[in-house]
Structure 1
Amino acid sequence: MAAQQLVLGIILIISALILLYLAIYSLRKRSSNLYFYFSLLMFSVFFWCLGSALEFLSSDFGAKVFWIQISYIGVATAAPLWFILILEYGQYGKYLKPANIGTLMILPLVIIVLAFTNNFHGLIWPSITPTSDATGALLIYAHGLGYWINIGYSFLLLILGFVILLRLLMKSPRIYHNQILILLLSGFIPLVFSVLYNTDILGIPGLDVTPFGLTISGFLMAVSIFKFSLLGIRPIAYETLFNTIKNGFMVFDKEDKLIDVNPAAEMIGITTSDVGKHFTQLMDNLPDLMKFYQNPEEESVVYAGDPFNIWIRVQSTLLYDNNEFKGRLIAIQDISKLKRVEKDFSESEERYKNLSELSPDAILVVIGENIVFANKASAKIYGFDNPDALLGKNIFSFYHPDSVELAKKRWNKVLVERKVLGFVEKKIISQDGQVKYIEVGDAPITYNGQQAVQLVARDITERKKLEEELKKSLKEKDLMMKEIHHRVKNNLMVIQSLLNLQSRYIKDTAARDIFKDSQNRAKSMAMIHESLYQSSDLKRIEFSEYINNLANNLFYSYSADPKRVKMDVNVDEVMLDVNTAIPLGLIITELLSNCLKYAFPGDKTGEIKVDFHPYTENGEKKLKLTVSDNGIGLPEGFDPKKSDSLGLMLIYSLSEQISANIKLDRTAGTKFEISFKEKAEFEKT
């Protein structure tokens, strides 16, 4: 075995190990598809270099052929995998679908199969001839059709990859140029070495130098990974970020010349056409920005005047490479909206302050339990000359002992549940010792970035005094009204008693009946006033109880026999105004009196019914009174409207007074239906 072949074999072995390390390193990282494809490429080239190395180091003819077949795993796949890597690097990953990758790899797989089965067809190597009879001599491989198809396919993919990288080189920032150039060389160097081998320019029969080109490419890849972050952010990713971000970026070199700018910087009129200009040219119409650049701070807010008229936040970052100053990055952000919001907030805060100062109600803001804001009205309510005197004081120190517990409960509810609580009455003790009544509402707010409670309080001390006086006045009025009803009832009872005494001296039955009717009328009115006197409502009475009492009094007044005549009273609880109750009571008195006097003469038996119920007609609430009997009824041809009977005249007259309708039914005795609309509430409350 020649010493030259031994050296070449060792070089390729070392190269293969380096490539294997790069493959494993990339596979372990595998944070993106780029790492995965790079790892596959390194494994492919590893097989190429390893097979070629062992072919150099083998002395047996069969072993040499076997290892060159092993190397074809890399020979056939290296170019397609390099092309896939370039596509991923250039952000053409959308084309790297499984079906497309499979299509790319069909021919390499066929070539590998042909290499391992060459003995049967000779499509890769029609013949293999040693260069000499010496043991371990180099082999000369005749190139068949399959070989040249693989070479053509590989060269085509390399050229396509070069086109992609050259386009990427032209539009990427300079910081990524080294990465792209290394990738170009990683494909170009093996291509040159392959051309040298296939054209036999070197004049060394059987020596394939292509694996040595791969060795150089492997070293370049290693340098690119560890020095230029080949597998880090790629140029296209940087370009996408740089061109789409909403903030403007400008990169200046150490001579203060613009070397890169993104589209967002156009907000201040600087575009890619300005690249190469000095900052003094760029910022001639932006004096505030120029001042910032000349006296750099980390961050500042400046106004860009005409024609831009925007507020911008400017940030400056110095750029270093291995502690060597390279330039600076200027970032600009349009904060015009934020400035408008700040202005609106400031104006809103000023309006709030003015409104609170003009408010007649006390407005306080409390953080923790201490007052941090108080308007002018607060000073007056809490007994101070100046609202500033309230600041820092504990809000609960002003509450009367009767109100402290309620105040703390509401306080916790506002802070914990963040609820707005309506106005309630509380008592406070002002600075000068006065006990005052206030109405206070509580609301959660944020004040100077802290959770706080806003109190709105109004002094209702005078109103409470007026309420007490009004209650006292109403009580006195109620007593007076009770006294009036009591006296009216007594006077009516006196009249009834006088009529009763007078009737004892009257011999004429008809005249005595007239006196009796008058007694009953006075009695019915007296009962109304008695109910009002006993009721808490001095204007309305509960009428069902009144009807029951009136019916019983009339029944016994006329000495009716309960065995012969039955009284059935069926009424609902209804509250009636006194202006309706008195005439309706007289109507009931007249109707029941007529039933008791005339419906059941002699020993005739029967029943008297009284019904009183609310009902609804055409959406209106009404009341209906029905008084009926099953007695002898009214005489034939008798017209109650034309009767000179005082009782019937009263019935129709009083019905008109309360706007009631009267319906008379003579089919089975006598039945009067009186319906009317009551202005007051029907239902008992």
Structure 2
Amino acid sequence: MRKRRAGLMIAERTGRLPAPNMTVTLSQWGSITILLMVSAWLTLWSRESIERSLDLARKELAVRRKAEEALRESEGKYRKLVDYTLVGQYIHQDRIFMFCNKRFAEIFGYQDTAEIIGRNIQGFVAPESWKKVIQEIEYRESGEKEFSHYELQVVRKDGSLIQVEVLGSRIEYQGKPANQGSILDVTERRKAEDRLQASLQEKEVLLQEIHHRVKNNMQVISSLLNLQSKHLSDPAAVEMFQECQHRIRTMALVHESLYKSSDLSRIEFGSYLKSLASHLLHFNEVDTRRIRLETALEEVYLDIQTAIPTGLIANELLSNAMKHAFPGKRSGTIELALRPHPEGSYLLSVKDDGIGFPEDLDFRKTESLGLQIVSSLVDQVDGRLEILRDNGTEFRVVFQPPRYPRRTSGQEM
């Protein structure tokens, strides 16, 4: 009797029938079928207690039915989200496809996902890519990688090969380890990139040829000037021709450096200055046992718009030091330096320990064509020129790449 009363008190307090007492099920149309399993002590229950318990059961089942409907609705939305996407989705377990969406099937040329599910993944991978696929799967299975991102070739239904990009990860599927991933057809993108790369290589070859021909043409001009100078008797005129040859050679050397460089848009200017200085020593017949050249050239890259005027500046300053700093049998040192300077600028320095630059001479107003050229070119590269007269002469040029306006398609040459 005490056990029966205890059971009744539990039912009244919780609203649930103590098992085994009764089972209540709701049909699809909401009608209630009550199956009562009557025990010996059920007759002791009051009618009100039973009705109260059944009412609570109805409410609980209604909540459950509503949750199931919400779950079905959510699954439907997720199914649409997975099926109607530009990216193929898949799950494979033990190398067998367990799931794929419609886009995955379309990428491989199939009409229905049922043609893929249940098949081994190897049949969809090009032989040359299979080793890569297995390697990436093993990385994920061993925990070495959390996910894999790579490209491979796959085989479509008609046997044709396409290039795809894959992002795969490790998951649990139906209680067992599996692999899921996304796949994107990148065949057309890769073809476009290949065409662009071929076009770029063609233009690089053409640009190299242009720089090569410009350099050759400048050498021809220099040779013509040299031939013409041999018919001159005036030493001053001969010197002017030689100076023009130096300047042409300086510009030609920029084009030579560009067509020999892997980067056709700029040159390593430190190496260029070293070549230029060696050329000037030879051309001016400098006795290197008497006049030494020391260089401190850091790695600086300049485009052609900056390299040509800066190279001409270096040519004029070096030529001036070689010709005038050490008259007679005087010996000494010329120092050539290049290094980065604050705020994106660079410092070019030509220093000698020779007789020095005259104190009363303003290099900005001199009649020397070389220094006039230097002053003009310094302005062109947005620079400033300083001269120091301690223990010889030092010309310091602080410059930065010029800011030329971009040419629009409608502008005339």
TM-score category, normalised to shorter length: 0.7 to 0.9
> Match for 2:335 among 593, 596, 609?
609
Corresponding residue of 1:569:
295
Instruction: Report the CA distance shift for 1:393/1:310 in structure 2 as closer, same or farther (over 3 A).
Output: closer
Corresponding residue of 1:483:
209
Question: Secondary structure in 2 aligned to 1:554?
Answer: helix
Residue 278 (str. 1) matches residue 36 (str. 2): no
Decide whether the 8 Å contact of 2:105 with 2:116 is kept in 1. Answer: yes
Report the Cα distance in structure 2 between the residues aligned to 1:447 and 1:348, rounded to whole angstroms.
19
What amino acid does structure 2 have at the position aligned with 1:634? F
What amino acid does structure 2 have at the position aligned with 1:365? I
**Cα deviation digits, residues 218-271 of structure 1 (max 9, x gap):** xxxxxxxxxxxxxxxxxxxxxxxxxxxxxxxxx568xxxx64328961699xxx
Report the Cα distance in structure 2 between the residues aligned to 1:476 and 1:507, rounded to whole angstroms.
49
Corresponding residue of 1:76:
none
Residue 391 (str. 1) matches residue 134 (str. 2): no
Report the Cα distance in structure 2 between the residues aligned to 1:632 and 1:343, rounded to whole angstroms.
100
Higher relative contact order (CA 8 A, sep 6+): 2
Corresponding residue of 1:635:
358
What amino acid does structure 1 have at the position aligned with 2:93? I
Corresponding residue of 1:304:
59
> Match for 2:152 among 426, 430, 437?
426
Question: Secondary structure in 2 aligned to 1:261?
Answer: helix
Question: Secondary structure in 2 aligned to 1:474?
Answer: helix
Report the Cα distance in structure 2 between the residues aligned to 1:462 and 1:377, rounded to whole angstroms.
17
What amino acid does structure 2 have at the position aligned with 1:623? Y
CA RMSD of aligned residues (A): 2.8
Question: Secondary structure in 2 aligned to 1:304?
Answer: helix
Instruction: Report the CA distance shift for 1:399/1:513 in structure 2 as closer, same or farther (over 3 A).
Output: same
Residue 674 (str. 1) matches residue 397 (str. 2): yes
Report the Cα distance in structure 2 between the residues aligned to 1:350 and 1:670, rounded to whole angstroms.
85
Corresponding residue of 2:98:
372
Where do 5+ consecutive residues of structure 1 fail to align? 1-172, 176-250, 269-274, 290-301, 312-335, 681-685
**Cα deviation digits, residues 170-223 of structure 1 (max 9, x gap):** xxx936xxxxxxxxxxxxxxxxxxxxxxxxxxxxxxxxxxxxxxxxxxxxxxxx
The alignment-based identity, stated in percent, is 36
Question: Secondary structure in 1 aligned to 2:194?
Answer: helix
Report the Cα distance in structure 2 between the residues aligned to 1:661 and 1:395, rounded to whole angstroms.
68
Decide whether the 8 Å contact of 1:414 with 1:420 is kept in 2. Answer: yes
**Cα deviation digits, residues 145-189 of structure 1 (max 9, x gap):** xxxxxxxxxxxxxxxxxxxxxxxxxxxx936xxxxxxxxxxxxxx
What amino acid does structure 2 have at the position aligned with 1:379? A
Question: Secondary structure in 1 aligned to 2:271?
Answer: helix
Question: Secondary structure in 1 aligned to 2:309?
Answer: helix
Instruction: Report the CA distance shift for 1:280/1:310 in structure 2 as closer, same or farther (over 3 A).
Output: farther
Decide whether the 8 Å contact of 2:364 with 2:372 is kept in 1. Answer: yes
What amino acid does structure 1 have at the position aligned with 2:177? Q
What amino acid does structure 1 have at the position aligned with 2:10? V
What amino acid does structure 2 have at the position aligned with 1:675? V
Instruction: Report the CA distance shift for 1:506/1:397 in structure 2 as closer, same or farther (over 3 A).
Output: same
Question: Secondary structure in 1 aligned to 2:114?
Answer: helix
**Cα deviation digits, residues 300-328 of structure 1 (max 9, x gap):** xx5426xx9755xxxxxxxxxxxxxxxxx
**Cα deviation digits, residues 75-109 of structure 1 (max 9, x gap):** xxxxxxxxxxxxxxxxxxxxxxxxxxxxxxxxxxx
What amino acid does structure 1 have at the position aligned with 2:2? R
Report the Cα distance in structure 2 between the residues aligned to 1:600 and 1:262, rounded to whole angstroms.
117
Decide whether the 8 Å contact of 1:419 with 1:444 is kept in 2. Answer: no
Q: How does 1:435-446 map to 2 (within 5 A)?
A: 435-446=161-172
Decide whether the 8 Å contact of 2:8 with 2:45 is kept in 1. Answer: no
Cα displacement (A) at 1:279: 5.0
**Cα deviation digits, residues 402-458 of structure 1 (max 9, x gap):** 110110111122233285424211001111011110001101223333332112111
Cα displacement (A) at 1:631: 1.5
Report the Cα distance in structure 2 between the residues aligned to 1:663 and 1:263, rounded to whole angstroms.
102
Corresponding residue of 1:127:
none
Report the Cα distance in structure 2 between the residues aligned to 1:262 and 1:625, rounded to whole angstroms.
97
**Cα deviation digits, residues 328-381 of structure 1 (max 9, x gap):** xxxxxxxx9xx85x7776555433322111111111111221112111111221
> Match for 2:385 among 651, 658, 662?
662
Corresponding residue of 2:407:
none
> Match for 1:600 among 326, 337, 340?
326
Question: Secondary structure in 1 aligned to 2:118?
Answer: coil
**Cα deviation digits, residues 515-563 of structure 1 (max 9, x gap):** 1111011101111111111111111112222111110111111111222
Decide whether the 8 Å contact of 2:15 with 2:53 is kept in 1. Answer: no
Corresponding residue of 2:20:
none
Q: How does 1:21-100 map to 2 (within 5 A)?
A: none
Report the Cα distance in structure 1 between the residues aligned to 2:179 and 2:58, rounded to whole angstroms.
38
Question: Secondary structure in 2 aligned to 1:454?
Answer: strand
What amino acid does structure 1 have at the position aligned with 2:395? F
Decide whether the 8 Å contact of 2:82 with 2:101 is kept in 1. Answer: yes
Residue 457 (str. 1) matches residue 183 (str. 2): yes
Corresponding residue of 2:256:
530
Question: Secondary structure in 2 aligned to 1:414?
Answer: helix
Instruction: Report the CA distance shift for 1:556/1:431 in structure 2 as closer, same or farther (over 3 A).
Output: same
Corresponding residue of 1:645:
368
Corresponding residue of 2:28:
none
Decide whether the 8 Å contact of 1:418 with 1:444 is kept in 2. Answer: no
Cα displacement (A) at 1:658: 1.7
What amino acid does structure 2 have at the position aligned with 1:280? R
**Cα deviation digits, residues 58-86 of structure 1 (max 9, x gap):** xxxxxxxxxxxxxxxxxxxxxxxxxxxxx
Question: Secondary structure in 2 aligned to 1:507?
Answer: coil
Instruction: Report the CA distance shift for 1:363/1:641 in structure 2 as closer, same or farther (over 3 A).
Output: same
Decide whether the 8 Å contact of 2:306 with 2:402 is kept in 1. Answer: no
> Match for 1:492 among 218, 227, 232?
218
TM-score (norm 1): 0.52
Instruction: Report the CA distance shift for 1:310/1:578 in structure 2 as closer, same or farther (over 3 A).
Output: same
Q: How does 1:571-586 map to 2 (within 5 A)?
A: 571-586=297-312
Report the Cα distance in structure 2 between the residues aligned to 1:673 and 1:356, rounded to whole angstroms.
67
Where do 5+ consecutive residues of structure 2 fail to align? 18-41, 404-413
Corresponding residue of 1:66:
none
Report the Cα distance in structure 1 between the residues aligned to 2:110 and 2:331, rounded to whole angstroms.
87
Q: How does 1:614-625 map to 2 (within 5 A)?
A: 614-615=340-341, 617=342, 620-625=343-348
Report the Cα distance in structure 1 between the residues aligned to 2:13 and 2:241, rounded to whole angstroms.
110
Decide whether the 8 Å contact of 1:623 with 1:678 is kept in 2. Answer: no
Question: Secondary structure in 2 aligned to 1:433?
Answer: coil
What amino acid does structure 1 have at the position aligned with 2:335? K
Decide whether the 8 Å contact of 1:376 with 1:387 is kept in 2. Answer: yes
Instruction: Report the CA distance shift for 1:579/1:266 in structure 2 as closer, same or farther (over 3 A).
Output: same
> Match for 2:10 among 245, 261, 264?
261
Report the Cα distance in structure 2 between the residues aligned to 1:376 and 1:349, rounded to whole angstroms.
16
What amino acid does structure 2 have at the position aligned with 1:593? S
After TM superposition, the runs of 4+ consecutive aligned structure 1 residues lying more than 6 A away are: none
Corresponding residue of 2:25:
none
Instruction: Report the CA distance shift for 1:284/1:303 in structure 2 as closer, same or farther (over 3 A).
Output: closer
Report the Cα distance in structure 1 between the residues aligned to 2:146 and 2:202, rounded to whole angstroms.
40
Report the Cα distance in structure 1 between the residues aligned to 2:358 and 2:8, rounded to whole angstroms.
125
Residue 589 (str. 1) matches residue 315 (str. 2): yes
Decide whether the 8 Å contact of 2:140 with 2:148 is kept in 1. Answer: no
Corresponding residue of 2:23:
none
Corresponding residue of 2:227:
501
